[in-house]
Amino acid sequence: MKKADLIFTNATILTMDDEFHTHKPGALAVEGDSILAVGPQAEILENYQSDNVMDCENKILMPGLINAHTHVPMTLLRGLADDLRLDVWLMGYMMPVEREFVSPEFVRLGTKLACAESIRSGVTTFVDMYYFEADIAQATADAGLRAICAQSILKFPTPDAASYEESLKAAEEFIQAWKGHPLIIPAVGPHAPYTCTDEILQACADLAIKYDVPLHIHLAETAGEVENIRKEFGMPVIPYVKKRGIFDAKVIAAHCVHIDEGEMRTIQHAHAGIAHNPSSNLKLASGFAKVKKMLDVKVNVGIGTDGPASNNDLDMIEEIRLASMVAKCESGDPTALPARQTLAMATSMGAKAVHIDHLTGSLVPGKRADLILLGIDKLHNSPNFQRDPDGIYAQIIYAAKSTDISDVMVNGQWLMRDRELLTLDEDELIAEAQDYAKKIDTFLIEREQSVLSKLIAIGGAMQQESFEVQAKVHVTDPDSIIEALEKNSVEVDYSRHYHEYDTYFFFENEDQGRLRYREDEFIDETGEIINVRGRLTLVGVTREDAFDHDVMLSRSRYYAPATHSLRFYREYFEPQAELDIEKDRKRYKIKYRRVDFYINVDTLIKPDLGHFLEVKSRTWSREDAEKKSRIIAELIEYLGASSEAAETEDYIEIVESHLRKA
């Protein structure tokens, strides 16, 4: 008789080993951090004894679940912003809040909260990618969970690094410090192809190979990502990253929603794993991943919750159910992802997908004692049928709740007994999290009150305080103006031809100013569009001093390149009203009487308000402005228009007053 530290008896054991052995009644012996033996009860009790025998009547004993992709500290951002498009959600809310709040303290608290929730849903291992990963690792190890912790690396500054070189250096130090830990496997996390450069991808692959640690990355999450990579590099995402050498490392690829069969084969050949995230893919409308096909071509696919800010929880029981159900409907085959296979995705196959099947994922002697007990005798899972040997897997997948999980052990250590957490103080964590939520609420409420701060939050804006003189006159024959300009008496530095599409956002509180989204199409001599530029301008209320014929304007403007779509800005800024103006603009930079002027010969197309001549010049003093305003009047007359009708309003004001009259 061999001695064991603990023997589980009288259980229904799902080993999730390669042959899916089950034992009923089964027994399992634990010694230290590992499984000593597992099998039919009679056989185990013949060979092993222990002072510590746990009767598991009416309970299923099975491997703990593996959450193959998440961002655990984002528990603190759960429910902060929902029902938004990915870009608005990410760039408008998550990233600005992260820039402001994410710190070692933040990630430790968020991680602890996530560990508590993970244990409650039967998770014994998770794969994380976030910032300050060493702090996440520490909090996870303290809670007693197993984790692969990938230090995020992006081409932008992040909450924990001013540059990617700094991130890479931190990642290497993190790996050196944590490699060999009994619970934590450090890893490299190049965030995604669209947030990394070729150089970063290659450096991350090199680092992962050097230390033989996993490389965790988001791949092909959205159709837009694939389209952009195709446009820029002429190939889909998987070949693109393959060329950067990432598949020489042990890759855990999150999402892979938009990959074809060839790409799946590439992943399979590379022994890379996919982390499938059904909740996140549905909630952000990223698409239905072709999971049945992935399994058909023998890719190891794990299941992940993704971060709790896009899920919005870490409930792996729900996630597994969803994976099975969605794959059936996506493939049109209700026999796809049957219960047993789906449970394997969250245990044994999941362990292969994240490269730790030598440690965990099945109840096999020698592996670590990462296991859970759950009851399937509750109301919502009654009755129990015995006919179909796979029925027990179906009960777990299709009707179990995470609250049915009673006990959780990781690495031979109890983390939950009879629904009571042993390594974390839940009430304290909830209270601390609530304090953070209050701070974030205050920050966002303040930000939301000001269009300017919302503009700054999504990538900054340059302020420009300018003084200028300006006059605008209605003209009937723009061609004669252009002819006059092209005479020799004015010196034309350069000329441009644009087609301009402006959308103005108006806000309830007029003090917020107006936000203009402008798309400039640059037109060449043949009429072809050779370039398009987007620009965002926040215009405050204009203060003006009128002169005789024209004015000096003091303007406060904030400029930002418009890197997102008009739709993004609409959903992000939520304007109360909008107005579109479309015009054709011929623009000249000229010198007249040795003064620089900008001359615009404009045709307002939408609304159709005819032609305008606009003359502008920068100024710096009232005296200079008065002088320039006189020259402007002269210039207007010189170009064949009448300066009598000159006005100082912007087009938006002209259009507004036109619309009021109409």
Residues 407-426 that bind a second copy (CB under 8 A): 426
The residue from 335, 476, 489, 526 that contacts a second copy (CB under 8 A) is 335
Q: DSSP character for 88?
A: I
- Kindly state the tokens that stand for 307: 């971060």
The C-alpha atoms of residue 360 and residue 369 are separated, in whole angstroms, by: 8
Residue closer to a second copy by CB (options 84, 209) is: 84
Residue closer to a second copy by CB (options 5, 390) is: 390
Residue closer to a second copy by CB (options 448, 524) is: 448
Our finding on whether 332 is near a second copy (CB under 8 A) is: yes
The total of other beta-carbon atoms located within 10 Å of residue 642's CB is 12
Our finding on whether 287 is near a second copy (CB under 8 A) is: yes
Compute the least distance from the CB of residue 333 to a second copy, in Å.
6
Our finding on whether 441 is near a second copy (CB under 8 A) is: yes
Our finding on whether 334 is near a second copy (CB under 8 A) is: yes
For helices 104-120 and 426-448, what crossing angle results, to 10°? 130
Our finding on whether 345 is near a second copy (CB under 8 A) is: no
The C-alpha atoms of residue 216 and residue 178 are separated, in whole angstroms, by: 17
Residue closer to a second copy by CB (options 29, 256) is: 256
Compute the least distance from the CB of residue 216 to a second copy, in Å.
24
Cis omega (within 30 of 0) on the bond before 383? yes
Residue 408 and residue 414 in contact, taking contact as beta carbons nearer than 8 Å: yes
Our finding on whether 277 is near a second copy (CB under 8 A) is: no
Residue among 166, 182, 158, 193 nearest 71 (CA) = 158
Compute the least distance from the CB of residue 132 to a second copy, in Å.
19
The C-alpha atoms of residue 399 and residue 588 are separated, in whole angstroms, by: 71
Please work out the total of residues on this chain that contact a second copy, with binding judged by CB under 8 A: 80
Compute the least distance from the CB of residue 347 to a second copy, in Å.
18
**In this chain, which stretch among 124-132, 134-142, 280-288, 366-374 interacts with a second copy, using CB under 8 A?**
280-288
Compute the least distance from the CB of residue 253 to a second copy, in Å.
20
The residue from 1, 162, 445, 462 that contacts a second copy (CB under 8 A) is 445
The C-alpha atoms of residue 415 and residue 59 are separated, in whole angstroms, by: 17
Compute the least distance from the CB of residue 345 to a second copy, in Å.
14
The C-alpha atoms of residue 356 and residue 182 are separated, in whole angstroms, by: 12
**In this chain, which stretch among 16-24, 131-139, 438-446, 610-618 interacts with a second copy, using CB under 8 A?**
438-446
Residues 111-170 that bind a second copy (CB under 8 A): 113, 116-117, 120-121
- Kindly state the tokens that stand for 438: 């209050």
Our finding on whether 448 is near a second copy (CB under 8 A) is: yes
DSSP string, 284-305: TT-----HHHHHHTT-EEEE--
Compute the least distance from the CB of residue 543 to a second copy, in Å.
33
The residue from 145, 284, 409, 641 that contacts a second copy (CB under 8 A) is 284
Residue closer to a second copy by CB (options 424, 615) is: 424
The residue from 15, 151, 395, 619 that contacts a second copy (CB under 8 A) is 395
The C-alpha atoms of residue 268 and residue 266 are separated, in whole angstroms, by: 5
The C-alpha atoms of residue 576 and residue 509 are separated, in whole angstroms, by: 9
Residue closer to a second copy by CB (options 157, 334) is: 334
Rounded alpha-carbon distances, angstroms, from residue 497 to 281, 332, 588, 605, 610: 43, 53, 9, 15, 17
Dihedral sign (CA 97, 85, 157, 465): negative
Our finding on whether 246 is near a second copy (CB under 8 A) is: no
The residue from 43, 206, 544, 571 that contacts a second copy (CB under 8 A) is 571
Residues 64-83 that bind a second copy (CB under 8 A): 75-76, 78-83
Alpha helices in 277-403 (DSSP H): 278-283, 291-296, 316-331, 339-345, 348-353, 391-399
Alpha helices in 217-288 (DSSP H): 223-233, 237-243, 261-269, 278-283
Our finding on whether 596 is near a second copy (CB under 8 A) is: no
Compute the least distance from the CB of residue 217 to a second copy, in Å.
22
Q: Which helix (H) or strand (E) holds 372?
A: strand 371-375
Whats the size of the chain, residue-wise?
662
The residue from 2, 32, 199, 329 that contacts a second copy (CB under 8 A) is 329
The residue from 1, 285, 462, 662 that contacts a second copy (CB under 8 A) is 285
φ/ψ of residue 538, rounded to 5: -100, 115
Compute the least distance from the CB of residue 348 to a second copy, in Å.
18
The C-alpha atoms of residue 198 and residue 236 are separated, in whole angstroms, by: 15
Using CA atoms in the order 31, 33, 36, 38, what is the torsion angle rounded to 10 degrees? Answer: 120
3-state secondary structure of 273: strand
Residue closer to a second copy by CB (options 29, 339) is: 339
Our finding on whether 433 is near a second copy (CB under 8 A) is: yes
CA of residue 73 relative to chain centroid, distance: 14
Residue closer to a second copy by CB (options 422, 532) is: 422
3-state secondary structure of 452: helix
Beta bridge partners of 585: 498, 602
Compute the least distance from the CB of residue 512 to a second copy, in Å.
18
For helices 316-331 and 391-399, what crossing angle results, to 10°? 100
For helices 164-178 and 133-143, what crossing angle results, to 10°? 30
Q: Which helix (H) or strand (E) holds 560?
A: strand 551-561
The residue from 437, 482, 484, 605 that contacts a second copy (CB under 8 A) is 437
The residue from 403, 406, 450, 556 that contacts a second copy (CB under 8 A) is 403
Alpha helices in 75-123 (DSSP H): 86-87, 95-101, 104-120
**In this chain, which stretch among 13-21, 195-203, 284-292, 497-505 interacts with a second copy, using CB under 8 A?**
284-292
Compute the least distance from the CB of residue 59 to a second copy, in Å.
16
Residues 365-384 that bind a second copy (CB under 8 A): 377-384
Residues 473-512 that bind a second copy (CB under 8 A): none
Neighbouring residues of 447: CB distance < 8 A, sequence distance ≥ 6: 96, 453, 454, 457
The residue from 16, 143, 363, 444 that contacts a second copy (CB under 8 A) is 444
Our finding on whether 180 is near a second copy (CB under 8 A) is: no
**In this chain, which stretch among 235-243, 305-313, 358-366, 546-554 interacts with a second copy, using CB under 8 A?**
305-313
**In this chain, which stretch among 185-193, 332-340, 609-617, 651-659 interacts with a second copy, using CB under 8 A?**
332-340
The total of other beta-carbon atoms located within 10 Å of residue 518's CB is 17
Compute the least distance from the CB of residue 600 to a second copy, in Å.
38
The residue from 366, 391, 460, 610 that contacts a second copy (CB under 8 A) is 391
The residue from 325, 566, 595, 652 that contacts a second copy (CB under 8 A) is 325
Residue closer to a second copy by CB (options 198, 313) is: 313
Our finding on whether 235 is near a second copy (CB under 8 A) is: no
For the chain, helix (H) and strand (E) counts, in that order, are 22, 28
The total of other beta-carbon atoms located within 10 Å of residue 648's CB is 19
Our finding on whether 349 is near a second copy (CB under 8 A) is: no
Residues 94-113 that bind a second copy (CB under 8 A): 113
